[in-house]
Amino acid sequence: MIDSLTGGHSLTKVLLTGGAGFIGSHTSLALLESGHQVVVMDDFSNGSAEALRRVAELTGLGPWRQDATDHWSASAPVGGSLTLIRGDVRSQQDLDRAFQDGNGGISAVLHFAGLKAVGESMAEPLRYWDVNVTGTVRLLEAMGRHGCQTLVFSSSATLYGTTDTVPIPETAPLQPINPYGYTKAAVERMLTDVASSAPGWRIALLRYFNPVGAHPSGRIGEDPSGRPNNLFPFLCQVAAGCRQQLEVFGGDWPTGDGTGVRDYLHVMDLAEGHGRALGLLQAEPPQLLTLNLGSGQGHSVLELLRTFETTNGLTLPYAVVERRPGDSAVSVADPSQAERRMGWRTRRSLADICRDGWAWQRANPQGYRSAGPQPAPELIGAQHGS
Ligand SMILES: NC(=O)c1ccc[n+]([C@@H]2O[C@H](COP(=O)([O-])OP(=O)(O)OC[C@H]3O[C@@H](n4cnc5c(N)ncnc54)[C@H](O)[C@@H]3O)[C@@H](O)[C@H]2O)c1
């Protein structure tokens, strides 16, 4: 069977650290749909078991069982299984448990676990270095113990800093400007060293631009705790009436309408990009792959706002305020390498992003907390086919 997500490459059991978060939950779904077995390890500091219960439901897996306080699973009679383990990437013990609870045989890791708020990283740099960098050191040590040498890492366009280059190729200088960006740069450096330290490593550094939107079912999406740091979830919360108005940071940028221009990509396109990267790593000889994942299209804040309004039949209040320090006028990916190397490019439009993001927010105004308290373990999930 040719698999469109992986490009026809082999289907395997994979570990997703941080797989209960925004990008990890959508990627879990995409990987399950293409027939992979998925093991997630997450400490739930910014993720939710409910997200994965819904992933199991959306992919038609059997009942979602909780057999201990920190271990959930669902499987289908033929193929696919999803296991969720509570664990911290900084803990050797938790990592060993994740590799073993997957009943061994984990052939690749997708490493999403990490902290990602720029402002918070300036206030608490040590926490960012600890989780993002020490967490990755511990993960690599565990991969060594369990004989796994294939890794897909969630890197970020934040590495490029405030460059004026448009669009930005992977060869652009790395010049991060905040602790979050420094930790991503440090991990990329570390993974480059690891890749050249011994034969056999297959590593992809995926530099995401601005992942937004939600699965079209409206069942899973982004669930920021507290005040969202990014424009799109903030916009959705204004639309839901949870916030009074959208603050637009700067109306005097050297762009068409004076507001900042970014490269937004639908989270399902991003999820599918992970499947492609995994397939490529498994099919080709060991290598270190560095790819931008973006649409290659720039949209201004006002353009995004207008598209959201038109697509969803809404009018949203907004105010233009001062620029934020560290922002840049334009940040757009050159995604041509991702297309050339793995036949991937974004397929979904800005209108798709706005429609799907709003479907999620409208149905879940309080995120996964809208689902109410977690049911008792024996009541979790519904039996598929019963
Ligand atoms: N969302 C973006 O705009 C964006 C852009 C570029 C890169 N990234 C990177 O992609 C990755 C995933 O981002 P996301 O948007 O899904 O974020 P997220 O916060 O929704 O997901 C991260 C997950 O990691 C978990 N986690 C955090 N610390 C952990 C630890 N010590 N041990 C185990 N699990 C832990 C959280 O509970 C959460 O479920 C992050 O590494 C982030 O830096 C995100």
Read off the amino acid at residue 376: A
- Dist. CA 385 → ligand 1 center (Å): 34
Length of the chain: 386
pLDDT at position 102 over 70: no
Mean pLDDT of 29-52: 96
**Mean pLDDT to the nearest integer, 26-49:** 96
CA–CA separation, 138 vs 150, rounded Å?
15
The pLDDT confidence band at residue 2, using thresholds 50, 70 and 90, is: very low
Q: Among residues 318, 251, 264, 256, which one has the least CA distance to residue 296?
A: 264
What is the SS3 assignment for 300?
Answer: strand
pLDDT of residue 10: 55
What confidence score (pLDDT) does residue 372 get?
A: 61
Average pLDDT, whole number, for the chain? 92
What is the rounded distance in angstroms from the CA atom of residue 207 to the CA atom of residue 204? Answer: 9
The answer to whether residues 216 and 222 touch, using CB atoms and an 8 Å cutoff, is: no
Q: Candidates 86, 138, 154, 291: which one to mutate for ligand 1, based on the most atoms within 8 Å of Cβ?
A: 154
Q: What is the pLDDT of residue 69?
A: 64
| Side-chain-side CA neighbours of residue 316 (13 Å) | 32
CB 227 within 8 A of CB 349: no
Separation between Cα atoms, residue 357 and residue 369, nearest integer Å:
17
Active-site entry in 180, 182, 208, 264: 180
Cα 165 from Cα 331, distance rounded (Å): 8
Q: Which residue puts its alpha carbon closest to atom 7 of ligand 1?
A: 156
Q: What pLDDT is stored for residue 47 in this prediction?
A: 96
Rounded CA separation 270/257 (Å)? 28
The gap from C-alpha 54 to its chain's centroid, in whole angstroms, comes to 17
CB-defined site of ligand 1, < 6 Å: 17-18, 20-24, 42-47, 88-90, 112-114, 116, 131, 135, 154, 156, 208, 210-211
pLDDT at 322 over 50: yes
76 pLDDT more than 90 = no
224-281: pLDDT as tens digits:
988 898 999 999 999 999 999 999 999 999 999 999 999 999 999 999 999 999 999 9
| Unique residue bearing structure tokens 């664990």 | 87
Cα radius of gyration (the chain): 20
**Ligand 1 nearest-atom number relative to CA 157:** 6
Catalytic residue list contains 180: yes
Looking at residues 197-215, what average pLDDT do you find? 98
Which residue is associated with the tokens 């974004």? 346
CA of 126 to the centre of ligand 1 (A): 17
Residue identified by tokens 């290598």 is 287
Q: How far is the CA of 70 from the centre of ligand 1 (A)?
A: 19
Compute the distance between CA of residue 213 and CA of residue 253 in angstroms, rounded to an integer: 25
pLDDT at position 193: 98
User: What is the CATH topology of the domain spanning 13-368?
Assistant: Rossmann fold (3.40.50)
Q: Which two tokens stand for residue 151?
A: 């890794």
Q: Which of 116-120, 172-176, 350-354 has the lowest mean pLDDT?
A: 116-120
Cis bond before residue 167 (omega within 30° of 0): yes
Q: Has residue 385 got a pLDDT over 60?
A: no
Rounded mean pLDDT of 44-48? 96
Predicted model pTM: 0.94
